[in-house]
Amino acid sequence: MAWLAAASPAAAQSADAPFVAALGELPDAGFADKEALVARLVETGHSSAGAVLTAMLEDRLYVRNSDRRVFISTSADDTQPSLSLLDPLTLKNAGTAPMAELTKIGTNNRLRRVLRTTAARFALANPDASVRLAAVTDMLRSLDDATAELLRQRLPQEPDGAVKRQIETGLAMMAIGDSNPTVRLAAVQALSSRISAESRNRLAALLERGADGTYAEPDEVVRKAAAAAVNSIDTTRAVYSGVETVFFGLSLGSVLVLAAIGLAITFGVMGVINMAHGELMMLGAYSTYVVQTLMPNHLDWSIPVAIPVAFVVAGLAGVILERTIIRFLYGRPLETLLATFGVSLVLQQLVRSVFSANNRAVSTPSWMSGTWQVNEALAITYNRIYIVGFTLVVFSLLLLVLRRTRLGLRIRAVSQNRAMARAMGIRSGRVDAMTFGLGAGIAGMAGVALSQLTNVGPNLGQAYIIDSFMVVVFGGVGNLWGTLIGGMSLGMVNKLLEPYAGAVLGKIAVLVALILFIQRRPRGLFPQTGRAAESA
């Protein structure tokens, strides 16, 4: 056994030798010599050859001036003062070196073409199917005879269905340039079931007319098939982009609903204008940040922990706010507005003093990051899906609390007829505090969600306060369903307008439309009816 252990490094050493030799010649080789060296590197069959060639292709291969040794840089950005390096043999960390100490190993167009094919070959042989898929997708963007040949060789041995389909797409895209019209027709038909932008553009190119009026595609049958295929692809893509817009609208609407729903309680049920509502959301977002700094090794669990923490922190702040300030101002909404605005300034300055005025970095847990690639035309980020789901959960919970619990019953009783509720033995002051705390706590939970979407900073709350009031007023004060529908439709309208008017102009249009809407229906979409409405 002892000799085996001793011999294997030696064997590795001997396999390394030609690789090291070829690497060593790289710094001083001309472009033509480099091409030969690339072939030699591939021939060694060394496990690091793929990485070295990819690095060379991406301009990340450097020579250290002092000892003429070759290194891979982890970043292609050559404007940085220093680069962190990897050893080309072991691909392990080899420290950093200042930019001035390094010289890049240059490439020219011809060499890059060779490198691209070689790197693609390595990627196609990768055991990980997702790497292969990415490599094929990348190759489709710049197909030529050499890459097409690679794909053709790979196709029979490819085990993964998705990769196989993508390779077939690539081959069909190549076959469109074939001289035989039957082959072209088959390729067009194969592509008509694909929806990626590349295959659509490839098909559309067939229908273009040159300067002399002749079509790029001489055969009429093929041309007709191509036109039909482009049409059907366009329709499918339009449907998917519609789905995407609707989903974006839903997710923006969810954010609005989440921000406004706490306000729907404090403003809608209690009639209190709480200008510090945005800052309560900010407290929730900062709670997330604090939870994450306290448990840096369990980031995946930070959000489930942060949600109740934020609820308690913001809820407590709400109760304190209600007991110390707001309860003296019931029935004087304009004064409440001013006082809570003062509170919002104090809270902003408080987080500035405690956490600094800069934005804090809140990280996204792994299960929330990434995208769900439904197909080539539709990708949805996971965090948007979670936000929509979270909003619906919070909304239903709140509805349950208001409809099915004792607290909910009391809240409704006090908001409908305070004097009568008091006469029935309900301590209205306590219910007020609990109601306000509930609304504030929900704002805190909204803050957790916002921490995943925007920057966590002292101005987080201000950005949402006007929108949230708009949602509540639009939906109809005192009506939770109105808030849900109002928020969702505002989000949707915003996203539908965006492609035509741009983000800012779309927002302005929505604001102006809302101002006009309130003037038509001063009590919102779903106005309160009955006796409670009169006193509001």
Partner 1 sequence: MRGSLLLSALPRDGSGRAFLGLVAACAILVPVLNLLVPASSPVHLSTYVLTLIGKYLCYAILAVAVDLVWGFCGILSLGHAAFFALGGYAMGMYLMRQIGPRGVYGNPILPDFMVFLNWKELPWFWYGFNHFPFTALMIVLVPGLLAFVFGYLAFRSRVTGVYLSIITQALSYALMLAFFRNDMGFGGNNGFTDFKELLGFDLQSDRTRVVLLVITALALGVSYLACRFIESSRAGRVIRAIRDAESRTRFLGYRVESYKLWVFVFSAMVCGVAGALYVPQVGIINPSEFAPINSIEVVIWVAVGGRGSLHGAALGAILVNYAKTFFTGALPEVWLYALGAMFVLVTLFLPRGLMGLLPERRPAAAEAS
Stretch near partner 1 under the rule CB under 8 A, chosen from 212-220, 293-301, 421-429, 512-520: 512-520
Question: Which of residues 280 and 343 has its CB atom nearest to partner 1 in the complex?
Answer: 343
CA contacts within 13 A on the Cβ side of 472 = 24
Should residue 348 be labelled a site residue for partner 1 when binding is judged by CB under 8 A? yes
Should residue 532 be labelled a site residue for partner 1 when binding is judged by CB under 8 A? no
Q: DSSP class of residue 98? A: E
> Among residues 261, 313, 473, 484, which is the contact residue for partner 1, using CB under 8 A?
473
Region label for 48, one of left (φ > 0), alpha (ψ between -120 and 50) or beta (otherwise): alpha
Should residue 518 be labelled a site residue for partner 1 when binding is judged by CB under 8 A? yes
Question: Which of residues 81 and 331 has its CB atom nearest to partner 1 in the complex?
Answer: 331
Question: Which of residues 380 and 532 has its CB atom nearest to partner 1 in the complex?
Answer: 532
Show contacts with partner 1 in window 273-302 (CB under 8 A). Answer: 273
Query: Contact at 8 Å (CB) between 217 and 206?
Result: yes
> How many amino acids of this chain bind partner 1 (CB under 8 A)?
39
Q: How many helices (H) and strands (E) does the chain have?
A: 21, 7
Q: Smallest gap, in angstroms, from Cβ of residue 265 to partner 1?
A: 16
Question: Which of residues 54 and 468 has its CB atom nearest to partner 1 in the complex?
Answer: 468
Should residue 351 be labelled a site residue for partner 1 when binding is judged by CB under 8 A? no
Q: In what order do the strands lie in the sheet with 69-73?
A: 93-98, 82-86, 69-73, 61-64, 102-104
> Among residues 344, 383, 415, 479, which is the contact residue for partner 1, using CB under 8 A?
344
Q: Smallest gap, in angstroms, from Cβ of residue 248 to partner 1?
A: 20
Question: Which of residues 57 and 510 has its CB atom nearest to partner 1 in the complex?
Answer: 510
d(CA 47, CA 91): 10
Region label for 502, one of left (φ > 0), alpha (ψ between -120 and 50) or beta (otherwise): left
d(CA 32, CA 36): 7
Question: Which of residues 306 and 326 has its CB atom nearest to partner 1 in the complex?
Answer: 326
Q: Smallest gap, in angstroms, from Cβ of residue 465 to partner 1?
A: 9
Q: Smallest gap, in angstroms, from Cβ of residue 476 to partner 1?
A: 12
User: Position 36: which residue type?
Assistant: A
User: Position 469: which residue type?
Assistant: F
**3 state SS of 27:** helix
Q: x/- contact string, 424-463, with partner 1 (CB under 8 A)?
A: --------------------------------------x-
> Among residues 12, 36, 420, 511, which is the contact residue for partner 1, using CB under 8 A?
511
- Give the Å distances, CA to CA, from 487 to 169, 260, 481, 484: 42, 8, 10, 5
> Among residues 14, 520, 529, 531, which is the contact residue for partner 1, using CB under 8 A?
520
Cβ-based neighbours of 258, under 8 Å, separated by 6 or more: 387, 390, 391, 394, 445, 446, 449, 450
Cβ-based neighbours of 443, under 8 Å, separated by 6 or more: 259, 262, 263, 277, 280, 281, 284, 314, 318
Should residue 356 be labelled a site residue for partner 1 when binding is judged by CB under 8 A? no
- Burial call 42-59: b when 16+ CB within 10 Å, e when fewer: bebebebbbbbbbbbbbb
Should residue 516 be labelled a site residue for partner 1 when binding is judged by CB under 8 A? yes
> Among residues 9, 95, 333, 499, which is the contact residue for partner 1, using CB under 8 A?
333
Should residue 349 be labelled a site residue for partner 1 when binding is judged by CB under 8 A? yes
The residue ranges that bind partner 1 (CB under 8 A) are 273, 325, 328-329, 333-339, 341-346, 348-349, 352-353, 462, 466, 469-470, 473, 504-505, 507-508, 511-512, 514-516, 518-520, 522
